[in-house]
Amino acid sequence: MSGLVIGIGLALVFFGALGTVLLPDLYLRLHASTKCGVTGAATVLLGLAARSAEFDAAARLVLIVVLIFATAPMIPHIIAVAHAANRDTPPTGAPPS
């Protein structure tokens, strides 16, 4: 059962990486990488916690999941705010409008 959970998590991480490469807009890329990456990593870690034989290891993996959920939205938010603030300036090498 834990192998299935780990496999689902790896598929989610794969689709997040695929969305980061294929999606055209920065906001869509951030959304794909954040949602799929965090959910996939948490699913993999919870699958590993279910597979671990020791309570200490499982508790540490669950703590890592909690920390990921607490800190993961911060970096994409900072990137999105910085992009929105600098959106008025054209990128280097862009043709003038």
Domain that holds residue 78: 2-84
Number of domains in the chain: 1
| Domain presence at residue 96 | no
Residue 71 lies in a domain: yes
- 95 in any annotated domain: no
Q: Is residue 30 part of a domain?
A: yes
Label residue 94 by pLDDT band (50, 70, 90): low
| Residue that the structure tokens 């054209």 belong to | 90
Asked, for residue 11, whether it belongs to a domain, the answer is yes
State what percent of residues in the chain have pLDDT above 90: 46
Averaged pLDDT for residues 7-32? 90
Q: What does the alpha-carbon distance between residue 87 and residue 48 come to, in Å, rounded to a whole number?
A: 42
Looking at the domain assignment, is residue 6 inside a domain? Answer: yes
Counts for the chain of helices (H) and strands (E), in that order: 4, 0
pLDDT for res 45: 95
